[in-house]
Structure 1
Amino acid sequence: MNLKSCEEKCLRDCSCVAYTNADEVKESGCLTWHADMEDIRTFENVGQDLYVRVDANELARYERKHYGSLGKKGMMTLIVISICLITFLVISFLCWFVIKNRNQAKRMHGEFFFDGEDNSNLTLFDLKDIIEATNNFADANMLGKGGFGSVYKGLLKDGMEIAVKRLSKYSGQGIKEFRNEVTLIAKLQHRNLVRILGCCMDGEEKMLIYEYLPNKSLDSFIFDQAKKLQLDWRKRFYIICGVARGILYLHQDSRLRIIHRDLKASNVLLDLAMNPKIADFGMARIFGGDQTEANTNCVVGTYGYMSPEYAMEGIFSIKSDAYSFGVLLLEIVTNRKNSGYYDDITSTLVGHIWNLWRESRAMEIIDPSLIGDPCLEHEVLKCIHVGLLCVQEYPTDRPTMSEVVFMLDNDSTLPHPKQPAFLFKKTNCDDSNPSISEGVNSVNEMSTTVIEAR
């Protein structure tokens, strides 16, 4: 007989007061007690369960004494319900706390960047997605570096190629410049401006996510002896006109009047079809509708591209960008850097071209592969003429970008350029210092201009 059968047997017998297995090891057999119980069995180092019949009223009194009016089952039920309720409340609180902090972080993130303005086209990327896309910022994916940090090529999970501009911890650019570029470029839509997809900010990591342009920057073509051959005159003129239209859009046609302040060859990117796209708006400034110039105590930009009034007095305007465009135009035409050395080692590219222009020898500095066709020669000379008009010393003498675009697109009589600024430079500079000899790095703090009075 098993234990269950033994229980049923005892319950059918009114005189049975307890039962258990006869063989506790095999859990078989049935042993019952009747009348008064007396323990007559001895066990060594082992116990045995004994099931005792108890009067219902006596059991109820026992439960009330130990468990209160609810009884044992009621108390256990109450305890289970209480535990479940407490667990539910704790989980609910934790979920609320997490969601609240996440929303607050997103709200603060959005307010920090956008000041409540609509930038719905921008995406806030997670750091882990950017790390995965760039293979943890592998050197093989690095596209280039500058004063701000490095740029990496990335591939998102959906197959889209991106360019990640990662701000260096030691860069002179900081939160202000980072926020400036995000909020500024998000509002701009033009075929000759690089398109920003979003940003990522996690702790000390600050990154801007751009569309990927496979041909990289303009300076990698015009200053490279092999790759410059890929740019015939038609492509160069197309790039010049595209950059001019992009700057004109910033100055006049966008809903914000923007001064770029760091226009140079490395900040002009090229897509697969060699369309130029102006990039790097970290140092740009917004002007009011009627504002024409402003003053700053912190001069930013790149040596060789700064206008004289900006480099020496901190005054910048749309004519400052016109000056930078003039330098860039002359570099595109000649394949030479403004900071390089020429026949007179103290002369800049602008000064050297000015000297040749006065002697009607400007075509001598042009790459022979670009000339030969008289029509092209006329167009090249026109571009040099426009470039010299843009780099004149006084802002009032320089053309606006709308006038520049008109002069490039039309054959018209151009005014005679006046003597440019910054014709000479010191010769005691360390040529090994790329920030001075090459003029490729942006100046993010107060600058000292390498000039010499005429």
Structure 2
Amino acid sequence: MSSFYKQETPSPAPPPLNGISNAESLQFDLNIIREATNDFSDSNKLGQGGFGVVYTGTLANGQAVAVKRPYVDLGQGNQEFKNEVLLVARLQHRNLVRLLGFCLEGRERLLIYEFVPNSSLDHFIYDPVRRSQLGWQRRQKIIGGIARGLLYLHEDSQLRIIHRDLKASNILLDTEMNPKISDFGTARLFAVDQTQDATSRVVGTYGYMAPEYAMHGLFSVKSNVFSFGVLLLEIISGKKSSRFCNGNTTEGLLSYVRKYLSITLLSLKNFRERVADTNSNESWREGTPSDLIDPNLVDGSRTEMLRCVHVGLLCVQEIEADRPTMGTVVLMLSSYSTTLPLPSRPAFILPSIPEFDTAPQVMVTHSNRSEDREIQESVNEASITELYPR
């Protein structure tokens, strides 16, 4: 295991493209941002995360913006800021949030983004009332948009980007409910021929992290695929990845998934035939994959929903090599003539635990010696708790 724990090397130098190389064209004056956000008024606060606060604002020309203000006292604040600017300024895709500029004055490190009006995905899928606003067609569109955004990051952009913190709160929704991947503060840039890397500083969110990353610090495009699979299952089921109430206990989503697969003795062996023969109105017996579907999804094709469940299960397989690429995922979601393989067991099968109000969340820095581990508390749910190999 120690071979995976090495000092995190700097990302490869980005190619000399227009944008951040001409940083002056993207730089905002601090006074302009103060005026736009009413001097960072609490009434303008949109949200708060592990690395900073986000404010809404209006520029003098009437354009609505979102301003991310990182915490200046975090040890990694400057590095996260530089990382996000270098990466996001080069990324142009309809399913990625667009960086408009930045501000560097004194202790202020500000990022100015396009304003995405419908907040983030977690405000919908975790809320029993708002979740009803997401019918099957909207959820399909959200799933497909996230998949295409990740495919762009992995294969189609001039840079290969590993996000490392893909989760519902980092998916923003525009006026048409199109998804936009946001928050690249912990993203890593890969060289063109690079397939994986390892880090001594594991950051991310509990419940979304691939086992090889959480336990060994090893990350790749397949660790993003795992996170996407968890997110897809959340969208379909309406349940939180890390914990949700199930009777008198709380349990993780993948544990819940595994339980239903066990009940049917992994009867996904007959899953493809069932889906092929099932119409949208047929009821499925208890203990089948349809139990993973949000009861709010009363309209829409059951076949399409169950196929999405199947794709999600393929993405969260424990063994990295078994997971599909995002290119394959996009194909499986868009082409119903593609036969899907049977998934192996999901990773992170955790026991149910008594329900409590808040889960302890920490950010962990690994070193080569276990006694040198440094644990830093996070200000919210945004960072990963430390996990050990089984």
| Structure-1-length-normalised TM-score | 0.69
| Structure 2 match to 1:190 | 93
Shift in CA distance, 434/272, structure 1 to aligned 2, threshold 3 Å: farther
| Structure 1 match to 2:231 | 328
The match for 2:154 among 231, 240, 251 is 251
Q: Give the Å deviation of 1:335.
A: 1.1
What secondary structure does 2:61 align onto?
coil
What secondary structure does 2:361 align onto?
helix
Q: Deviations over 1:154-206 (max 9, x none)?
A: 01111110000011124454111101100101111111000000001111111
What secondary structure does 2:296 align onto?
helix
Aligned mates of 1:428, 1:235 — CA distance in 2: 34
Asked if structure 1 preserves the Cα contact closer than 8 Å seen for 2:87 and 2:184, the reply is yes
Q: Give the Å deviation of 1:355.
A: 2.1
Q: Give the Å deviation of 1:235.
A: 0.2
Q: Give the Å deviation of 1:117.
A: 4.7
Shift in CA distance, 268/440, structure 1 to aligned 2, threshold 3 Å: farther
Q: Give the Å deviation of 1:336.
A: 0.9
Pairwise CA RMSD of aligned residues? 2.5
Shift in CA distance, 273/435, structure 1 to aligned 2, threshold 3 Å: same
| Structure 2 match to 1:37 | none
Q: Within 5 Å, give how 1:2-401 maps onto structure 2.
A: 117-119=17-19, 120=22, 123-171=26-74, 173-341=76-244, 342=246, 345=249, 347-358=251-262, 359=264, 361-371=288-298, 373=300, 376-401=301-326
Structure 1 residue runs without a partner (length 5+): 1-112
| Structure-2-length-normalised TM-score | 0.80
Bigger mean CA offset, 334-343 vs 218-227 = 334-343
Shift in CA distance, 439/235, structure 1 to aligned 2, threshold 3 Å: farther
Aligned mates of 1:429, 1:449 — CA distance in 2: 20
Q: Give the Å deviation of 1:209.
A: 0.1
Shift in CA distance, 172/398, structure 1 to aligned 2, threshold 3 Å: farther
Aligned mates of 2:348, 2:248 — CA distance in 1: 14
Aligned mates of 2:380, 2:116 — CA distance in 1: 20
Shift in CA distance, 381/364, structure 1 to aligned 2, threshold 3 Å: same
Q: Deviations over 1:280-307 (max 9, x none)?
A: 1111111111111111111111111110
Asked if structure 1 preserves the Cα contact closer than 8 Å seen for 2:215 and 2:389, the reply is no
| Structure 1 match to 2:382 | 442
Aligned mates of 1:153, 1:281 — CA distance in 2: 19
Q: Give the Å deviation of 1:139.
A: 1.1
Asked if structure 2 preserves the Cα contact closer than 8 Å seen for 1:391 and 1:420, the reply is yes
Asked if structure 2 preserves the Cα contact closer than 8 Å seen for 1:424 and 1:452, the reply is no
| Structure 2 match to 1:20 | none
Length, aligned pairs only: 335
Aligned mates of 1:415, 1:397 — CA distance in 2: 10
Q: Which amino acid aligns with 1:191?
A: R
Shift in CA distance, 339/423, structure 1 to aligned 2, threshold 3 Å: same
| Structure 1 match to 2:348 | 422
Structure having greater relative contact order (Cα 8 Å, sep ≥ 6): 2
Asked if structure 2 preserves the Cα contact closer than 8 Å seen for 1:422 and 1:451, the reply is no
Shift in CA distance, 139/448, structure 1 to aligned 2, threshold 3 Å: closer
Q: Which amino acid aligns with 1:449?
A: E
Q: Which amino acid aligns with 2:293?
A: I
Q: Give the Å deviation of 1:138.
A: 1.0
Higher Cα Rg, which structure: 1
Aligned mates of 2:180, 2:293 — CA distance in 1: 25
Asked if structure 2 preserves the Cα contact closer than 8 Å seen for 1:322 and 1:399, the reply is yes
Identity %: 52
Asked if structure 2 preserves the Cα contact closer than 8 Å seen for 1:425 and 1:452, the reply is no
Q: Which amino acid aligns with 1:296?
A: T
Aligned mates of 2:335, 2:213 — CA distance in 1: 30
Q: Which has the higher helix share?
A: 1
Q: Which amino acid aligns with 1:424?
A: L
Q: Give the Å deviation of 1:118.
A: 2.4
Q: Give the Å deviation of 1:452.
A: 8.2
What secondary structure does 1:193 align onto?
coil
Asked if structure 1 preserves the Cα contact closer than 8 Å seen for 2:236 and 2:292, the reply is no
Aligned mates of 1:223, 1:402 — CA distance in 2: 28
Structure 2 residue runs without a partner (length 5+): 1-12, 265-286, 363-377
Q: Which amino acid aligns with 1:388?
A: L
Asked if structure 1 preserves the Cα contact closer than 8 Å seen for 2:119 and 2:173, the reply is yes
Shift in CA distance, 206/115, structure 1 to aligned 2, threshold 3 Å: farther
What secondary structure does 1:210 align onto?
strand
Shift in CA distance, 217/324, structure 1 to aligned 2, threshold 3 Å: same
| Structure 1 match to 2:3 | none
Shift in CA distance, 325/191, structure 1 to aligned 2, threshold 3 Å: same
Shift in CA distance, 117/403, structure 1 to aligned 2, threshold 3 Å: closer
